[in-house]
Chain A
Amino acid sequence: MSRASKLVLAHFWVAFVGFAGALVLGAWQMYIRSPLAAWINNPEHYYRSVTAHGTVMAYVLPTLVAMGFGYAICELALKRPLVGVKWGWAGFWLVIAGTVVAAVTMAVGKASVLYTFYPPMLASPFYYLGVVLVVVGSWIWVALMVINLRAWRKDNPGATIPLAMFGNLAGAYLWAWTSVGAAVEVLVLILPASLGLTDTINAGLARVLFSWTLHAIVYFWLMPTYIAFYTLVPRAIGGRLYSDTMGRVAFVLFLVFSMPIGIHHLFADPQVGAGFKFVHAAMTAMVSVPTLLTVFTIVASVEIAGRLRGGKGAFGWVRALPWDNPMMLAVAFSFVMLGFGGAGGLVNMSYQLNETIHNTQWVTGHFHLIFGGAIVIMYFMIAYELWPQLTGCAPLSAKLIRTQLWLWFVGMLVLSMPWHLVGLLGMPRRMAYYDYSHPDLQPQAWTVVVSTFGGLILLASGLLLVYILATAKKRGSAAEVPRFTFSRAAHPGAPTPAALNGFGLWIAMMIGLTLVNYGFPIVQLASLKDAYVQVVPIGSR
Chain B
Amino acid sequence: MAGDRDSTFAWRNAGVRRSVVWLVVLTVACLLVGFLWLPSVHADFRADGLWASICRAAGVPTSWSGGDATTTAEKKPTTDVVLERAMARGGTSDAIGRGATLALNCTMCHGARGVSQSNAPNLAGQYSEVVVKQLNDYRSGHRKSSIMEGLAKAMSARDVEDLGAYYASLPKARTAPTTYGEALPALVRVGDPLRNIAPCISCHGGVDQKLGAPWIEGMPKDYLVAQLAAFKSGERRNDSEAQMRNMVRAMTAKEIDEVAAFYARKAAGE
Contacts and interface: CB of A to CB of B under 8 A. Distances in A.
Q: Does A touch B (CB under 8 Å) in the complex? A: yes
20 contacts: A39-B190, A41-B190, A42-B180, A42-B207, A146-B1, A274-B57, A276-B57, A278-B30, A278-B34, A279-B27, A279-B30, A279-B31, A283-B26, A497-B15, A501-B3, A502-B5, A503-B2, A505-B20, A528-B61, A540-B209
B128 to A, nearest CB: 11
Nearest to A286: B26
A172 B199 CA distance: 45
A274 B5 contact: no
B59 A521 contact: yes
A367 interface: no
B180 A41 contact: yes
B141 interface: no
Contacts, number: 156
Interface string B66-103: 00000000000000000011101000000000000000
Contacts of A434: 193
Given A199-B85, A274-B34, A274-B39, A504 B193 contact: no
Contacts of A433: 190, 193
A498 interface: yes
A513 interface: yes
Interface of B: 1-5, 7-9, 13, 15-16, 19-20, 23, 26-27, 30-31, 33-35, 38-39, 45, 54, 56-61, 84-86, 88, 127, 177, 180-182, 189-190, 192-194, 199, 201-202, 205-209, 211
Contacts of A268: none
A470 interface: no
Chain B at the A interface: SS class: helix
Interface in A491-541: 497-505, 507-509, 513, 516, 520-521, 524-525, 528, 534-536, 538-541
Nearest to B8: A502
Contacts of B177: 540
Contact of B4 (A39, A283, A504, A539): A504
A278 B15 contact: no
Contacts of A316: none
B129 to A, nearest CB: 11
Interface string A122-151: 000000000000000000000001100110
A241 interface: no
Nearest to B5: A502
A381 B59 CA distance: 45
Nearest to A252: B19
B152 to A, nearest CB: 25
A505 B8 contact: yes
A17 interface: no
A438 B194 contact: yes
A389 to B, nearest CB: 25
A435 B191 CA distance: 11
A271 interface: yes
Name which of A272, A278, A500, A503 has the most chain B CB atoms within 10 A of its CB.
A278
B176 to A, nearest CB: 12
Given A520-B58, A534-B85, A278 B33 contact: yes
A466 interface: no
Contacts of B23: 256, 509, 513
Name which of B39, B54, B181, B193 has the most chain A CB atoms within 10 A of its CB.
B193
Given A275-B54, A505-B19, A42 B189 contact: yes
B34 A279 contact: yes
A251 to B, nearest CB: 12
Interface in A154-180: 161, 169
